Amino acid sequence: MLAGQKAGPERDRFLRSKADPGPLPAGDEEIAFAPLTHLSRWIEQRKLSSERLTELYLGRLEKFDPKLRCVITLTRELARTAGQES
């Protein structure tokens, strides 16, 4: 911790930007590379569902994992269940 910084809840609190993310992009690739702050606002505004976002990323993992080898075990059903709970 740096000198002068407080530890605890005040310092550890996450604050989202209040900026409007604008319209939801038409293409899945644009959505996939959008900042998390935009994704969370689109979900909050019901422009994007957590189910669609989950399926989008599952599709990208299935497509690119053979080349990137970034996943050890892909738990599709667990991801889908978590996506429905959001």
pTM above 0.85, yes or no: no
Q: State how far the Cα of 86 lies from the Cα of 72, in Å rounded to an integer.
A: 24
Looking at residue 19, its pLDDT comes to 87
Residues whose CB falls within 8 Å of the CB of residue 11, separated by 6 or more in sequence, listed in order: 5
Looking at residue 81, its pLDDT comes to 92
Q: What is the mean pLDDT of each run of 10 residues along the chain (86 residues)?
A: 61 76 96 95 96 96 94 93 80
